[in-house]
Amino acid sequence: MKRIQGVLGVVLGIVIAVGPQTFLHVCGGGKMAESMGDAAPMAMSMPCQNVPAAALITGFLVVITGIVLLIVTLKKAEGKAITLVLDLAFAISGIVTIGIPTFIVGVCQAPHMHCHAVTRPALIVLGAFVVVLAIAGLLRDLRKK
């Protein structure tokens, strides 16, 4: 089970880190202001412009946690305390991933914007998967004697 949890953690972390940079991209608020040239005295910065950087960091943390879990599992050094800490790290990373588009950084308020319609729900679902993965690992660890 821990190997599967580690592999799923690595995969989810990669999608969280790479998604907002590529296919789950945010809207181009900063690019629109730059394209206006001299007509825009102040470049507008959309709130969603920091989402990809924040998601990259949390995705990287999920990947690292998954790799450490795989290493611990493959070396048969599974201790209850180690796996509990790694599950807790998964849970915190998942909660932060959910928080990035909702209350930490936020996205544009217009429902038709790509960041609001695609990036926000995708990061919420990916973060929820990481939290569920952590809860499954915690339940398994607590049942194990």
Q: Which residues, at least 6 apart from 79, have a Cβ–Cβ distance to it below 8 Å?
A: none
48-50-51-57 Cα dihedral, nearest 10 degrees: 180
52-77 per-position pLDDT tens digit? 999 999 999 999 999 999 998 888 77
Over pLDDT 70: what percentage of the chain? 86
| pTM for this predicted structure | 0.85
pLDDT score, position 140: 87
pLDDT score, position 6: 92
Tell me the domain boundaries of the chain. Answer: 2-143
Give CA–CA dist 64/62, Å, rounded.
6
3-state secondary structure of 98: helix
> Is residue 5 over pLDDT 80?
yes
14-42 per-position pLDDT tens digit? 999 999 999 988 876 444 444 445 555 55
